[in-house]
Structure 1
Amino acid sequence: MATIKIKQIKSKIGAPADQKRTLAALGLHKISQVVEKEDSPSLRGMIRKVHHLVTVID
Structure 2
Amino acid sequence: MTTQQTVKIQLVRSPIGTKESHRATVRGLGLRKLNSTSELQDTPAVRGMINKISYLIKVL
Q: What TM-score results when the alignment is normalised by the length of structure 2?
A: 0.93
Show structure 1 runs of 4+ deviating over 4 A: none
Instruction: Point out where structure 1 has 5 or more consecutive residues left out of the alignment.
Output: none
Q: Which structure 2 residues correspond to residues 1-58 of structure 1 after superposition, within 5 A? A: 1-57=4-60
Q: Which secondary structure state, in structure 1, belongs to the residue aligned with residue 31 of structure 2?
A: coil
CA RMSD of aligned residues (A): 0.4
Percent of matched pairs sharing the same residue:
37
1:10-49 per-position Cα deviation (integer Å, ceiling 9, x unaligned): 0011000000000000000111000100000000000000
Q: How many residue pairs align between the two structures?
A: 57
Structure 2 residue ranges without an equivalent (≥5) = none
Larger Rg: 2
TM-score of the aligned structures, taking structure 1 as reference length:
0.96
